[in-house]
């Protein structure tokens, strides 16, 4: 049985939940008390020395880092469409895994954590970085349906969760119609599970 | 001919230069005036909309993001040892590509840019993050020679440059003997080129 150390509001965890569901893989969610700091405890650091979630356990294999877990699941359980092996095609997927781990982690993620969870981030800087990223992505998606190929790959799965909830960081998605269409497309894939939305902190 | 848009002091560029050299691939370096902001100009954004270097051009293929370029070069020109295809083995490489793109980018890199290049980063935070990372890496390397396999992979190439010059960010490597031995090992690989060290900003 596959086990996923997980917390519900995390987009990093959700990308793994989404691929598990798309691939139809039975799994057990192990809730980690993220706000209580369980992931930073010595006990949890024995599972992941970096003190972060998600962590995937599949039999004797323990893996940290959401992008790496997507690579593992795609290679082990998916067909080659999720992570193509041809050099250029694989590198094009990797480019967007890097965006998921860098530009999205430094823009949409902290904007949302500041607004929804009251964390101390530079909200204006995170919102500005989000708009910079969304501008590039919207242009990229102008003449294509998926980020890295002519079909969905783990690049789309990796980038989707924090972009689906970027309005929670008070970043308006209206100017980015291609990004909105791409989000809808991912949520329409067979067996897709949408990123859970948080209740608004103030009335609309 | 392979062309690499490059700037000499960049560790992100150096990881590509290092793998090109290890693989014995002829290439041309195209210097980008990083400090003059050439990578942020509209002309450069036509090559990479994210406005970053390195960028690799190989015939009709243009790739951004240093980790993605390593994946491409390993898959196209290397043998499978540089990037194993077996699911767990590939994911273990990917874990360290993520560390190169995240923990190293948020610790050793800004510490060095603050000290050597006078950039406005929170130096104390970057140094603290560097020590946290080095502590995990030194423990990881206690009973292994290479980060992700029993031989060098692109994981080692990706993590090496900014760690080789982490003392330039006033982060002492003395407490991390396994990291130091690993740096020496990489620099001893046939055809390796060491990360260029910057002159000290103040006398020792």
- The reply to whether residue A90 touches residue B71, judged by beta carbons under 8 angstroms, is yes
Residue A199 has a pLDDT of: 83
Is residue B40 in some structural domain? yes
CB within 8 Å: B101 and A103: no
Q: What is the CATH number of the domain that holds A100?
A: 1.20.1050.10
Assess whether A101 and A169 both reside in one domain: yes
Chain A nearest-CA distance from B202, in A, is 32
* ipTM of the complex as predicted: 0.96
Chain A residues with CB under 8 Å of B139 CB are 49
Secondary structure class of A3 (helix, strand, coil): strand
Distance from C-alpha of B187 to C-alpha of B182, rounded to nearest angstrom: 9
Overall average pLDDT of the A168-186 stretch: 98
Angle, CA of A73, A76 and A80, to the nearest 5° = 90
In this predicted structure, the answer to whether residue A202 has a pLDDT above a threshold of 60 is no
Domain edge (last residue) among A58, A77, A96:
A77
Q: How far apart, in Å, are the Cα atoms of B50 and each of A45, A190, B135, B167?
A: 34, 32, 32, 29
pLDDT digits (tens, 9 = 90+) for A89-141: 999 999 999 999 999 999 999 999 999 999 999 999 999 999 999 999 999 99
Structural domain contains residue B199:
no
Same domain, B7 and B44: yes
Q: How confident is the model at residue B201 (pLDDT cuts 50, 70, 90)?
A: low
A139 to chain B, any CB pair closer than 8 A? The answer is yes
Same domain, A95 and A168: yes
Q: Mutating which of A91, A107, A144 best tests the B interface, going by the most B Cβ atoms within 10 A?
A: A91
Close Cβ partners of B194 (under 8 Å, ≥ 6 residues apart): B164, B187
At residue B86, the 3 state secondary structure works out as: coil
Say what the pLDDT of residue B202 is: 57
Q: Which pLDDT belongs to residue A16?
A: 98
pLDDT value, residue A201: 63
Q: A103 and B69: CB-CB below 8 Å?
A: no
Q: In terms of C-beta distances under 8 Å and separation of at least 24 residues, what long-range contacts does A38-45 make, across chains too?
A: A44/A5
* Domain assignment of residue B165, yes or no: yes
Q: Read out DSSP for A10-56? A: -HHHHHHHHHHHHTT--EEEEE--TTTTGGGSHHHHHH-TT--S-EE
Residues of B within 8 A of A71 (CB-CB) are 87, 90-91, 94
Confidence class for position B197, pLDDT limits 50, 70, 90: very high
CB environment B148-166: b (16+ within 10 A), e (fewer): bbeebbbbbbbbbbbbbbb
- Consecutive H or E run containing B31: strand B27-31
**Residue A35 — very low, low, confident or very high, per pLDDT cuts 50/70/90?**
confident
Same domain, B110 and B169: yes
Nearest CA in chain B to A75: B87
User: Would you call B68 and A95 a contact, using CB atoms and an 8 Å cutoff?
Assistant: yes
Cα separation, B103 vs A24, whole angstroms:
32
Write out the two tokens for B88: 């767990």
CA distance B161 to B12: 7
Most confident of A35-39, B31-35, B169-173: B169-173
A100 and A164 part of one domain: yes
Terminal-residue alpha carbon distance, chain B:
42
pLDDT value at position A195?
98
- The shortest C-alpha distance from A203 to chain B (Å) reads 35
- Give tens-digit pLDDT for B151-196: 999 999 999 999 999 999 999 999 999 999 999 999 999 999 999 9
Q: Which two tokens stand for residue B35?
A: 């400090």
CB–CB contact A67 B94 (8 Å) = yes
- Measured between CB atoms, does A68 come within 8 Å of chain B? yes
By CA distance, what is B46's nearest residue in A? A136
Model confidence over A85-95: pLDDT tens digits? 999 999 999 99
Q: Work out the minimum CA distance from B203 to partner chain A, whole angstroms.
A: 35
How many CB atoms are closer than 10 A to CB B62? 14
Tell me, yes or no, whether B64 and B127 share the same domain: no
Task: For residues A163 and A108, state if they share a domain.
Answer: yes
Structure tokens at A108: 């949409």
What is the pLDDT, as a whole number, of residue B35?
Answer: 87
Whether residue B183 sits in one domain with residue B98: yes
The reply to whether B82 falls in a domain is: no
What is the structure's pLDDT at A25? 98
Optimal mutation site among A40, A98, A135, interface B, most CBs of chain B within 10 A: A98
Residue A154 maps to a domain: yes
What is the DSSP pairing of strand A27-31 with strand A2-6? parallel
pTM over 0.90: yes
Domain boundary residue, one of A77, A99, A124: A77
CATH of the domain at B53: 3.40.30.10
Q: Does some domain include residue A26?
A: yes
Q: How close, in Å, is residue B191 to chain A by CA atoms? A: 23
Strand order in the sheet with A2-6: A27-31, A2-6, A55-58, A61-64
Same domain assignment for residues A72 and A129: no
Tell me whether the omega of the peptide bond preceding residue A148 falls within 30 degrees of 0, making it cis.
no
For residues A181 and A99, state if they share a domain: yes
Return the structure tokens found at B2: 């392979």
In angstroms, the CA A192 to CA A148 distance is 19
Q: What is the pLDDT of residue B98?
A: 98
Q: Into how many domains does chain A fold?
A: 2
* Residue B36 within any structural domain of the chain: yes
In this structure, the answer to whether residues B94 and B156 fall within a common structural domain is yes
Average predicted confidence (pLDDT) for chain A? 96
At residue B131, the pLDDT reads 98
pLDDT tops 90 at residue A204: no
Note whether B68 contacts A92, CB cutoff 8 Å.
yes
Task: Tell me if A194 is assigned to some domain.
Answer: no
- Judge: B85–A90 Cβ closer than 8 Å, yes or no: no
Given A43, A77, A111, the domain boundary residue is: A77
Q: Does B142 touch chain A (CB under 8 A)?
A: no
Domain that holds residue A70: 2-77
Alpha-carbon gap, residue A199 to A180, rounded angstroms: 20
In angstroms, what CA-CA distances link A64 with A17, A48, B85, B94? 14, 6, 18, 10
**Domain co-membership, A161 together with A98:** yes
Give B77-126 pLDDT, tens digit per residue: 999 999 999 999 999 999 999 999 999 999 999 999 999 999 999 999 99
Residue A93: the pLDDT is: 98
């Amino acid at each position: 049985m596959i086990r996923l150390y997980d917390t519900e509001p995390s987009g990093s965890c959700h990308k793994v939940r989404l691929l598990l569901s798309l691939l139809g893989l039975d799994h057990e969610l192990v809730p980690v008390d993220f706000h209580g700091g369980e992931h930073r405890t010595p006990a949890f650091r024995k599972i992941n020395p970096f003190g972060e979630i998600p962590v995937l356990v599949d039999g004797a294999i323990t893996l940290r880092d959401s992008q790496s877990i997507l690579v593992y699941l795609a290679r082990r359980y998916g067909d080659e469409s999720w992570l193509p092996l041809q050099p250029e095609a694989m590198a094009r997927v990797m480019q967007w895994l890097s965006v998921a781990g860098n530009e999205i982690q430094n823009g949409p993620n902290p904007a949302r954590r500041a607004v929804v969870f009251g964390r101390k981030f530079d909200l204006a800087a995170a919102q500005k970085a989000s708009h910079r990223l969304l501008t590039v992505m919207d242009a990229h998606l102008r003449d294509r349906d998926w980020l890295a190929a002519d079909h969905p790959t783990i690049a789309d799965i990796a980038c989707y969760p924090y972009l689906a909830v970027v309005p929670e960081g008070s970043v308006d998605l209206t100017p980015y119609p291609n990004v909105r269409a791409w989000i809808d497309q991912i949520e329409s894939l067979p067996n897709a599970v949408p990123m859970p939305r948080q209740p608004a902190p103030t009335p609309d």
